[in-house]
Amino acid sequence: MHSNTAVLTDHRQAGFTIIELLVALAVLGIAMATIMSAMLANTNLNNKVEKQANAMRVAEQVMESYRQRSDYGTLRAPLSQNVTMNGRTYTAMTTFCPTDLPSATLSSMPCNNTSVYIRVEVRDGITALQKVESYFTQFGSGS
């Protein structure tokens, strides 16, 4: 005996629904935004560190150029110079015998023909990146 009952078949297709697809895209978008934000922050930090390292090298270079001089008595007027380091230009502002030093410092480190107090501030535009100070005395010279 044959039965004429129809066999019900399930016609569901394997795959994603539109809701599942939208949820997956939202999760992926949040993950990508987080990763991109972290990468951008890392890039900004690297640029800042590179600028500060370059500014330190510029300050060392400028200070060394003054240290090698023998005419400390002529170093009095403030000086501003542009220095390029690794493709970036920095402004090195030099002050000789700065007047804003404590009076005890000024009396113990006088500025004369054989010694000089030097301050170099390195800037990137208006942003101060590095500031160094030193007192140079010619070897074997009294102050």
pLDDT given at position 72 = 82
pLDDT given at position 16 = 74
Give the span between the Cα atoms of 97 and 110, in whole angstroms: 8
State both tokens at 14. 């394997």
Q: Which domains does the chain have, with CATH numbers?
A: 18-137 (3.30.1300.30)
pLDDT given at position 74 = 85
Give the span between the Cα atoms of 87 and 80, in whole angstroms: 19
Q: Is the pLDDT assigned to residue 48 strictly greater than 90?
A: yes
CB 80 within 8 A of CB 92: yes
pLDDT given at position 101 = 82
Taking only the tens place, the pLDDT of each residue in 69-114 is 878 888 888 999 999 999 999 999 999 988 888 877 767 788 888 8
Token look-up 């951008």 returns 40
Q: What is the band of 13 on the pLDDT scale with cuts at 50, 70, 90?
A: low
pLDDT given at position 7 = 54
Distances (CA, A) of 95 to 42, 65, 66, 132, 135: 35, 14, 12, 11, 12
